[in-house]
Chains A and B, each alone.
Chain A
Amino acid sequence: MLRVALVGQPNSGKSTLFNSIVGYRAVSSNFPGTTVEILKGRALVGGRPAEVVDLPGIYSLRAEDPAERLTRDYLLSGEVDVIVNVVDASLLARSLELTLELVELGIPMVLCLNMMDEARRKGIEIDMERLSEILGIPVVGTVAVRGLGLNELLSAIGKAKIPKPMGFSADVERVLGELEERIGPHPRARYIAELLLVGEPLPPGVEIQEPDPGLEELRRKLVEDRGEDPALVFSSERHALALRLFEQVARVRHAKPSFRDRLDAVLMHRLFGYPVMLGVLFLLFYLVFEVGGMLEGYLLPPLEALTEAVEGAIPGPFGKVLGGALQGFWAGIGIVLPYLLPFLFFLAFLEDVGYLPRIGFLLDGLMHRIGLHGKSVIPFLLGYGCSVPAVLATRILEDERDRLITAALAVMVPCAARTVVIFGLVGRYVGPLIAFSLYLLNVVVVAAAGALLRKLLPGVGPGLIMEIPPYRIPTMRTILLKVWLRLRGFVTVAWPTLIVASAFFSLIDVLGWTRFLNTLLLPVTWPLGLPEAVGVPLVFGILRKELSLIMLGQALGTVDFGAVLTGIQMVVFTVFVIFYVPCIATVAALWKDFGARRTLLVSLGTVGVAMAIGLLVRLFALLWTAVAGA
């Protein structure tokens, strides 16, 4: 079967194209042993079935970046028969740099110029025949969002050719040629020679004779001639080649700036950009809670009734444990999904429109204060929906230290479940203003924790380098696919954990260990001035944060919290719930991406933060009432 790989830069419309070719039958998996995702599906190419692989969006094929290295290794592994290089035609000059790198691999290739409509809008006219002639491969124009050019693309895949590399400058070619000769006959001798000169490790499976003693000499020659690192020499060469190629095949007429081009004058404005951003975020959360509240209202009562029916039908301890497992199961459907689904949907919309990177741009300066940069904004925002996708989203950060700090902070952002506690307890019994100020308190604490982490984890985070893509009108298909991919993390990791743990805690209840647990938790509840019975609800909150509210009702024997708890107690309880140990689902996600040790550290750290902030709030509240009463 023909194996086709889609390779392209981020935002090139590669995923939209993949969706239109293979439909929803795609199966997603990771590169073995990594968190880098690939999608596989089937399509008919020239009447014959073919396997189509959607590789991660990459800018180049350098070994430093895991996604890029994996893509390169995969392409060279012999598992790919045809490369389809998907290019944003409206950014042709920039995109050709990756194209020219792929050309060197010596694998049959097709160049797909996507977003031809955008290119035309920008006044770029591309001579596809000329481009095809120069590179020696089929070139097809498409508009994937509207399904234009797909048949042409599929038939071109059947006619893929090994491309002709464009020559570098004479001095570079000389060195490259000399090394190529020493490597001897090998289908990828030219590319191997480049890797050796640049000093990158050879991909697994690519074997050549012992590195030639002449290699060092040749590399030194290149460095001496150019006065630059060989890696930089090749990047510069390719940049110049891409530009020259662009000038040969494209003509740019001056196009009048359109509405979309002028949007940024406001949306990224140094002053106006911020109120607009706050408005957009407010609308996002407003919509999420409107839609989520509606869904929850429909879903929760029947599910709860069913649980009670099961517990009633099967008396005894077994029924209780089963009821616990069911409760964990319903919790996923009834509480998390109603908020998570609309949240992920609206966020994917903002992302595909191209607004999220702009938020990153606007907030980069602020994020630097807590030792991070603008890209970390995305996990933080996701955190307001659910911590699990937030942890998974830290994968977009290149630096390991950035990832850990972002994850550690993002799990302290109040997710939808914690919002239930904030509004169900503080908002209802103490006042909405106090509830709202807890969000502000959270932002301050997260920022302070970030500053602290920056001190504890020394190292210079790399600065922000982020593409700001043009605004796009997204398609429903790509949005839904994105939502599903993020939701999958919750469904496959978090949900099962939730069910098992929920059954386990029911077992504890059945065994009558409640008193014991409460006593065990006295070191937490006593200094915070909370009733002893609050211990167990706090433990249950590790399962799902909003469960602590439900359990609180059980533990105190009433849901009229105003009658049994003081306002201060409710605020302190809520503050503790916001910060302490991310829920078990999040712990599972952290574990998967960061390992046991760091997960434990993050969990313990959050308990420390919760304790400290809880005490501070209690102290502050006591002083406040003393002063106000005097």
Chain B
Amino acid sequence: MFLNSFADLGSLPPGSKGVVVRINGGRGLVARLSRMGIVPGAEVKVVSKAPVGGPILVEVNGAQVALGRGVARKVVVRPHA
């Protein structure tokens, strides 16, 4: 339970929600994500995923943001049960 309590945003199935815990990236990525409200402590919901390694669509603060898979993998979240 404790071990898999964190996950990267890219691995969550559509419909799941979670809280951002950490962003594994450089300052530039962190700044670009924080512009969209994706910062530690933010509630995010995975809305949908594009096929073949395409981006995922997440909802933050009522707004929808598309994240490339590579970006999504760097966002660590604690999923809600």
Contacts and interface: CB of A to CB of B under 8 A. Distances in A.
Interface in A75-110: 90-94, 97
B16 to A, nearest CB: 17
Nearest to B60: A94
Nearest to B73: A463
B15 interface: no
Contact of A463 (B35, B62, B69): B69
Contacts of A465: 32-33, 35-36, 65-68, 71
Nearest to A124: B62
A464 B63 contact: no
B54 A364 contact: yes
A59 B35 contact: yes
A147 interface: no
Interface stretch (A227-235, A516-524, A582-590): A227-235
Contact of B68 (A93, A242, A357, A464): A464
B28 A462 contact: yes
Interface in B41-57: 41-42, 48-55, 57
A190 interface: no
A243 B62 CA distance: 11
B77 interface: no
Contacts of A398: 32
Task: Give the size range of A's interface with the partner.
Answer: 35 or more
Given A59-B36, A94-B62, A463-B68, A361 B41 contact: no
Contacts of B76: none
A236 B41 CA distance: 7
A466 B50 contact: no
A93 B37 CA distance: 10
Task: Give the size range of B's interface with the partner.
Answer: 35 or more
Contacts of B68: 364, 368, 373-374, 463-465
Given A463-B67, A464-B66, A468-B64, A270 B35 contact: no
A268 interface: yes
Q: Main SS of chain B's interface residues? A: mixed
A463 B71 contact: yes
Contact of B66 (A64, A231, A239, A361): A361
Given A240-B41, A270-B49, A462 B62 contact: no
Nearest to B35: A59
Contacts of B50: 268, 270, 273, 361-362, 364-365
Given A64-B31, A94-B37, A464-B67, A270 B57 contact: no
Given A59-B35, A91-B63, A94-B61, A232 B30 contact: yes
A467 interface: yes
A271 B70 CA distance: 22
A59 B36 CA distance: 7
Contacts of A360: 66
B34 to A, nearest CB: 4
B65 A97 contact: no
A264 B59 CA distance: 13
A364 B61 contact: no
Given A357-B66, A463-B71, 19 more contacts: A64-B31, A94-B37, A94-B62, A231-B30, A235-B34, A239-B34, A268-B48, A268-B57, A360-B66, A361-B50, A364-B54, A365-B52, A462-B28, A463-B69, A464-B55, A464-B66, A465-B36, A468-B66, A470-B64
Interface of B: 23, 27-37, 39-42, 48-55, 57, 60-71
Closest 8 CB pairs of A and B: A365-B54, A463-B68, A464-B68, A59-B35, A463-B71, A235-B34, A94-B61, A93-B61
